[in-house]
Structure 1
Amino acid sequence: MAKPTPLNLLADLAQNDTEAATRELGRLQGLRTQAEQQLAALNKYREEYRARMQAMAQDGMTATRWQDYAQFLTSLDGAIRQQGQALAQAEAALLTGRANWQSQKRRQNSFDTLVARAEAREQAAGARREQRANDEYAARLARAASHRQD
């Protein structure tokens, strides 16, 4: 296990930031999907209402009733425009969230690479220390053996 270093701490923080960005991206995707579904529902309702209005108009409709239907369709069109704007805002927020996630992920990957390199350097230094210790031990044994032969 790697010993805690400032680099490990930064890597952990970067991972936490990436996880938070991932959660936020999921939330934003949910909002976008919800806005899209609401827009689709409004459009479907408008088509059904318009079809109903046409069917009633074929059977004959008073001017007041016609105005009521037309007024409601106008209100519905306004709601559809607003929902279209909400969908556009949700898509823009999703793009921003995606860019943030990508940035956080790159940052995390950079720290992970730095930590891996530092660990590799530490392992190499440890291996050199161990080799040096083994070499010194072997040299002592050789000296001791040569002293005994003298």
Structure 2
Amino acid sequence: MTSLNFRPGSKQDPSYAHEDGTHSLIITDIIQRGTASQIYRAFTDPASLSAWTGSPAVETPGGVRWSVGEFGLEATSVELVVGERIAVELECRDWPTERSRAEIRLWPTPRATMAIVTHRGLAEADLAHARELWAPRVLDRMRWYIHAVGPQSSPVGVTDRGAF
């Protein structure tokens, strides 16, 4: 499933400029065959995070610290509402924005879950980076993990479920 993205600057562009000069970006994605609890676990369980990010995840008081090395992303959970919402503080190397915050809201539907990512505190120069980070990279990688290990998945090409 493709993420719902919009042409930058169009009326549908989900970015917003705040009075303090920072920007927000909203990315909406539909994760087929993934329940809200599976997606929540994929973002909050250290073993699951390590499996789909390829990097170690460490429990912290109230959350988890994780990274996706090749994307230059470091994240720490700061607010968790089980099965509904995950808020993370982000640090992305090579971006002008040193720290920002993303909130991932999960909306279950009968056969899928809608994930709405609101990424706040971005410099205008980072909007394109944030679009690329969430839509084709982080959410797609997590989606493939959900499909590979989910109870209703068909593990075509996955020979060792434990490797995911």
Determine which structure has more spread, i.e. the larger CA radius of gyration: 1
The TM-score range, normalised by the shorter chain, is: under 0.3
**Higher helix proportion:** 1
Q: Under a length normalisation based on structure 1, what TM-score does the superposition of the two structures give?
A: 0.25
**Structure of greater relative contact order (alpha carbons < 8 Å, 6+ residues apart):** 1
Q: Under a length normalisation based on structure 2, what TM-score does the superposition of the two structures give?
A: 0.24
